């Protein structure tokens, strides 16, 4: 089902947390709501599921305005960070709970629970109690409970936050598999860019109650609308370098390094800009060399991460395969960039 937020506004007391947000979640897609803590992700999710009422605007499921519809009537499955399984009930009873409440027929309940337990791969665990399950298994039970009523929409609020690194990796692909198999429209709230990029069809990135950009993970990574989005996506993160436009060229390090402005629309002379340089784009053998001194080395196994301090004090980052050895701290290097791979921002931080 399509979900539409139309001029959605939310206040807590006199504080307006979200003002006139517009967002459309397409039928069958997984959309990630990504942003830093406190930006309004959970507030948005709670409004979609009906825990919060809108203070302005509308929430539509397909054609239907559900702004005034109670949460229980919205047919939405929700999984929170704390799975909140009922400790005294078995896995079967936990999953069956939403159906038991509706007093569905016992045989029907058994069939539906079996079917959903199969989907989330916990068929053998139905007799256990939550305390006898690992974190990942509990998460699967919570997912099964959210899905057993065949909701039109699945909402996930930081569903992996309580899992350790290995389980998080496993559940990332499991949640995505289940979403793809059921083709349910889903919203994933996360502040983890890797999670957002790896699990979703599109990302909506939020800052202070506002959506800055909605795009596929690749498009957002390659064409961020501003420096905030560029900095939020990518690990290790992008580095920024001050530069100046002169005579259709870009000057860095006070004109020591000059190269043609790599876009058609050139800013006027003496415009200050910032270059965004991703670690995979600052590499040996690239045409425009920007020399510096290695100030930090981190070996990550397959790759090495280097910080390179330039003569003006700015830091560029480079990530390189460790197959050719590790370059030591304090070494002088003359690595470079390819102009067409640079991101370019104006003084306000918007992409040029
Ligand atoms: N019930 C409430 N009463 C008052 N203020 C609230 C309430 N719920 C949220 N807020 C405020 O609204 C803003 C957005 O909160 P929200 O929980 O949506 O953020 P979030 O993006 O989910 O953050 P996190 O990543 O930390 O979970 C915050 O400033 C928060 O303090
Ligand atoms: Mg939250």
Query: How many Å lie between the centroid of ligand 1 and the Cα of residue 269?
Result: 44
- Locus of tokens 């001050």: 242
Query: How many Å lie between the centroid of ligand 2 and the Cα of residue 190?
Result: 8
Cβ-proximal residues to 300 (8 Å cutoff; 6+ apart), any chain: 322
Spatial separation of the C-alpha atoms in residues 326 and 304, rounded to whole Å: 7
Does 11 sit in the ligand 1 pocket, CB within 6 Å? no
Dihedral sign for Cα 10, 14, 16, 20, please: positive
| 207 and 286, same domain (yes or no) | no
| 97 and 35, same domain (yes or no) | yes
Work out the number of other CB atoms within 10 angstroms of the CB of residue 142.
Answer: 25
Continuous segment of H or E residues that includes residue 138: helix 135-147
| 263 and 214, same domain (yes or no) | no
In a domain, 121, yes or no: yes
In a domain, 60, yes or no: yes
Low-confidence ranges of the chain (pLDDT < 70): 83
In a domain, 352, yes or no: no
Q: Which 8-state DSSP code applies to residue 100? A: H
Q: Which of 14, 43, 158 to probe ligand 1 with, by most ligand atoms within 8 A of CB?
A: 43
Spatial separation of the C-alpha atoms in residues 128 and 93, rounded to whole Å: 10
CA dihedral 305, 310, 316, 317 (to 10 degrees): -10
Q: Per DSSP, what are the bridge partners of residue 157?
A: 189
Spatial separation of the C-alpha atoms in residues 240 and 227, rounded to whole Å: 9
Domain boundary among 204, 232, 260: 232
Q: What 3-state class would DSSP assign to 98?
A: helix
| 20 and 152, same domain (yes or no) | yes
Query: How many Å lie between the centroid of ligand 1 and the Cα of residue 350?
Result: 27
| 127 and 168, same domain (yes or no) | yes
Mind giving me the DSSP string for 164-191? -HHHHHHHHHHHHHHHHHHT-EEEEEES
Query: How many Å lie between the centroid of ligand 1 and the Cα of residue 204?
Result: 17
Task: Identify the pLDDT of residue 15.
Answer: 95
Structural domain including 130 reads: 3-232
In a domain, 280, yes or no: yes
Task: Identify the pLDDT of residue 81.
Answer: 81
| 178 and 299, same domain (yes or no) | no
Shortest-distance Cα residue to atom 3 of ligand 1: 12
Q: Which 8-state DSSP code applies to residue 311? A: T
In a domain, 196, yes or no: yes
**What burial letters (b/e) apply to 84-110, b meaning 16+ CB within 10 Å?**
ebeeeebbbbbbbbbbeeeeeeeeebe
In a domain, 246, yes or no: yes
Domain boundary among 232, 256, 277: 232
Task: Identify the pLDDT of residue 136.
Answer: 87
Q: Which of 15, 39, 46, 192 to probe ligand 1 with, by most ligand atoms within 8 A of CB?
A: 39
- Locus of tokens 């959210």: 146
Query: How many Å lie between the centroid of ligand 2 and the Cα of residue 206?
Result: 12
Task: Identify the pLDDT of residue 83.
Answer: 67
Ligand 1 atom showing the smallest separation from residue 12 Cα: 4
| 157 and 200, same domain (yes or no) | yes
- CATH number, position 68: 3.40.50.300
| 81 and 183, same domain (yes or no) | yes
| 279 and 332, same domain (yes or no) | yes
Does 40 sit in the ligand 1 pocket, CB within 6 Å? yes
Q: Which of 12, 53, 209 to probe ligand 1 with, by most ligand atoms within 8 A of CB?
A: 12
Does 39 sit in the ligand 1 pocket, CB within 6 Å? yes
| 178 and 31, same domain (yes or no) | yes
Max Cα-Cα span within the chain: 78
Query: How many Å lie between the centroid of ligand 2 and the Cα of residue 117?
Result: 28
CA angle 205, 208, 213 (to 5 degrees): 25
What token pair was written down for 12?
């807590």
Spatial separation of the C-alpha atoms in residues 30 and 195, rounded to whole Å: 12
* Tally of domains in the chain: 2
Task: Identify the pLDDT of residue 60.
Answer: 97
- Measured in degrees and rounded to the nearest 5, phi and psi for residue 248 equal 75, 10
Domain boundary among 232, 249, 280: 232
Query: How many Å lie between the centroid of ligand 1 and the Cα of residue 70?
Result: 21
In a domain, 351, yes or no: no
Does 168 sit in the ligand 1 pocket, CB within 6 Å? no
| 101 and 162, same domain (yes or no) | yes
In a domain, 119, yes or no: yes
- CATH number, position 278: 2.40.50.140
| 249 and 226, same domain (yes or no) | no
Q: Which of 8, 9, 10, 40 to probe ligand 1 with, by most ligand atoms within 8 A of CB?
A: 40
Shortest-distance Cα residue to atom 28 of ligand 1: 38
Task: Identify the pLDDT of residue 352.
Answer: 92
């Amino acid at each position: 089902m399509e979900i539409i937020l139309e001029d959605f506004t939310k206040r807590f007391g006199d504080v307006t947390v979200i003002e006139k947000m517009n967002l459309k979640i397409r039928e069958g897609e997984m959309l990630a709501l990504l942003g830093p803590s406190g930006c309004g992700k959970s507030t948005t999710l709670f409004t979609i599921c009906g825990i919060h009422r809108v203070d302005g605007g509308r929430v539509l499921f397909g054609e239907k305005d559900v702004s005034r519809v109670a949460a229980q009537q919205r047919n939405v499955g929700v999984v929170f960070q704390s799975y909140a399984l009922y400790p005294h009930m078995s896995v079967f009873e936990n999953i069956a709970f939403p159906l038991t409440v509706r007093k569905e027929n016992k045989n029907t309940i058994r069939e539906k629970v079996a079917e959903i337990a199969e989907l989330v791969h916990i068929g053998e665990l139905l007799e256990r109690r939550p305390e006898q399950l690992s974190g990942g298994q509990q998460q699967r039970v919570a997912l099964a409970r959210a899905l057993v009523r065949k909701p039109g929409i699945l909402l996930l609020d930081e569903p992996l936050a309580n899992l350790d690194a290995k389980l998080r990796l496993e559940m990332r692909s499991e949640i995505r598999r289940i979403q793809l198999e059921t083709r349910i429209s889903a919203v994933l709230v996360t502040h983890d860019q890797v999670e957002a990029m790896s699990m979703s069809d599109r990302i909506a990135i939020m800052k202070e109650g506002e959506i800055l950009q909605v795009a596929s993970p690749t498009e957002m990574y390659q064409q961020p609308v501003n420096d905030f989005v560029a900095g939020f996506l990518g690990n290790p993160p992008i580095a920024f370098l001050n530069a100046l436009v002169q005579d259709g060229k870009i000057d860095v390090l006070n004109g020591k390094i000059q190269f043609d402005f790599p876009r058609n629309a050139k800013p006027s002379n003496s415009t200050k800009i910032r270059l965004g340089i991703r670690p995979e784009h600052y590499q040996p053998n690239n045409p425009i060399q920007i020399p510096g001194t290695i100030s930090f080395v981190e070996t990550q196994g397959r790759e090495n991460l280097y910080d390179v301090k330039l003569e003006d004090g700015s830091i560029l980052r480079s990530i390189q395969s460790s197959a050719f050895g590790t370059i030591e701290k304090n070494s002088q290097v003359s690595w470079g960039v390819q102009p067409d791979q640079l991101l370019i921002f104006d003084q306000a931080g918007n992409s040029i």
